[in-house]
């Protein structure tokens, strides 16, 4: 226990001095007797013996009030892990071409499905070469002709699988396309807004979560062919806000297979990604460009990003104090009430 205002305890000296001075002052009786020789023979009654009790109650009440004024507090030291993490926006192409097949652990799946599975391994960990990113804020944007925020930036990574599973290939022709520039600009804006919001929160709550750096992981197998912004315009915006962009070209190889209602067809050219533009985006923002032909090479890219982007955890120690003035204040009120009651009844003095 400690006192928030220990200087208030100096009032105890004043109270003690007041009682001491009062004991030194002897009052004369208000009623005079001619002979008190027989008064001592009658003995001292219990009431007379307890005549000082109201004064004792008053003194105890004053002591309790002084202690309450000093604000006694009990504290428990607590330790809280405060992260300085990385804000990561996944930007995933879901245009029709992402329906081409790609190898995942020896089986054939659509490129989009492989991207989703390896992304979850990166975010949650796979128990092997990807440990997960528990201290990072992670969000996801999917795009075809238009970009959509699939999952906002969050530390609650247990919600990611549900959002990711709901991401499907574009189903209608009017919605198909590859708006890389618009998607990249949206991701950059989301990251910048999140950082500004956390900066305000940090001023109000010391030790709050802090964004160490901001990155975008952009995956596509095509070229920008729609949208209001060009990829390089969006890259300039990201660079202005200090956001690194890692670009990944999905596909590769001499051919790819596509499943259609009419059957499985092999098409020449595994990927039509605009490699030159993706490299320029990465260079302009301080990121890295890589190509991935299957789940192994894609996982390798994520491992590289995992090594380049590290989070830090610090232990914040603080003391959680609990106020203890109320019991002393209530006790003082009870003692004062008792003193008044006794002074007006049992120990009432007549003039």
pLDDT value of residue 339: 79
CA distance 251 to 62: 83
pLDDT value of residue 225: 93
**46 CB contacts (<8 Å, ≥6 apart)?**
none
62, 73, 297, 319 from 67: Cα distances, Å: 9, 11, 70, 22
**Are 119 and 163 within 8 A, CB to CB?**
no
pLDDT at 267 over 70: no
Q: Which residue has the higher pLDDT, 221 or 23?
A: 221
Q: Which residue has the higher pLDDT, 2 or 247?
A: 247
Q: Which residue has the higher pLDDT, 268 or 76?
A: 76
pLDDT value of residue 319: 63
pLDDT at 73 over 90: no
The number of helix segments (H) and strand segments (E) in the chain equals 10, 12
CA distance 207 to 226: 43
CA distance 128 to 289: 24
Per-domain residue ranges of the chain: 2-26+40-71+324-344, 79-315
pLDDT at 9 over 90: no
Q: pLDDT by residue (tens digit) across 225-251?
A: 999 999 999 999 999 999 999 999 998
Q: How much is the mean pLDDT over the chain?
A: 82
* C-alpha atoms less than 13 angstroms from C-alpha of 342 in its C-beta half-sphere: 17
pLDDT value of residue 7: 83
Q: Nearest-5° angle of CA 96, CA 98, CA 101?
A: 120
Lowest mean pLDDT among 23-32, 55-64, 229-238, 269-278: 23-32
67, 128, 197, 279, 346 from 341: Cα distances, Å: 23, 77, 60, 89, 8
Q: 3-class SS at 232?
A: helix
Q: pLDDT by residue (tens digit) across 280-329?
A: 999 999 999 999 988 999 999 999 998 888 766 555 455 667 788 788 88
CATH class assigned to 79-315: alpha beta
14 φ, ψ (degrees, to nearest 5):
-65, -45
* C-alpha atoms less than 13 angstroms from C-alpha of 341 in its C-beta half-sphere: 7
CA distance 143 to 161: 18
CA distance 333 to 61: 7
pLDDT at 42 over 70: no
CA distance 255 to 269: 5
pTM: 0.64
pLDDT at 274 over 80: yes
């Amino acid at each position: 226990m400690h006192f928030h205002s220990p200087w208030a305890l100096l009032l105890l000296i004043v109270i003690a001095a007041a009682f001491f001075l009062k004991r030194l002052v002897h009052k004369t009786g208000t009623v005079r007797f001619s002979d008190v020789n027989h008064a001592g023979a009658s003995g001292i009654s219990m009431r007379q013996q307890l005549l000082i009790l109201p004064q004792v109650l008053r003194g105890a009440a004053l002591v309790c009030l002084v202690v309450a004024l000093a604000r006694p507090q009990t504290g428990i030291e607590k330790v809280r892990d405060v992260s300085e993490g990385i804000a990561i926006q996944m930007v995933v192409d879901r245009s029709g071409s992402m329906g081409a097949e790609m190898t995942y652990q020896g089986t054939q799946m659509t490129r989009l499905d492989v991207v989703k599975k390896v992304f979850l391994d990166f975010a949650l960990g796979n128990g092997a070469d990807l440990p997960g990113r528990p201290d990072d804020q992670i969000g996801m944007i999917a795009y075809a002709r238009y970009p959509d925020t699939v999952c906002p930036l969050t530390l609650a990574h247990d919600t990611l699988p549900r959002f990711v599973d709901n991401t499907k290939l574009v189903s209608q022709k009017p919605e198909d396309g590859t708006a890389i520039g618009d998607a990249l600009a949206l991701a950059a804006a989301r990251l910048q807004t999140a950082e500004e919001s956390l900066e305000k929160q940090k001023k109000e709550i010391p030790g709050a979560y802090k964004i160490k750096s901001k990155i975008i992981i952009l995956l596509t197998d095509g070229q920008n062919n729609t949208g209001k912004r060009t990829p390089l315009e969006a890259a300039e915006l990201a660079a202005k806000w200090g956001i690194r962009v890692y670009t990944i070209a999905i596909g590769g190889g001499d051919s790819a297979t596509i499943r259609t209602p009419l059957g499985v067809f092999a098409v020449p050219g595994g990927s039509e990604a605009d490699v030159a533009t993706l490299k320029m985006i990465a260079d302009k923002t301080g990121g890295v460009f890589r190509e991935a032909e299957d789940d192994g090479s894609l996982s390798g890219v994520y491992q590289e990003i995992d090594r380049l982007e590290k989070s830090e955890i610090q232990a914040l120690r603080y003391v959680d104090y609990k106020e203890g003035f109320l019991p002393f204040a209530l006790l003082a009120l009870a003692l004062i009430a008792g003193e008044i009651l006794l002074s007006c009844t049992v120990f009432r003095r007549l003039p």
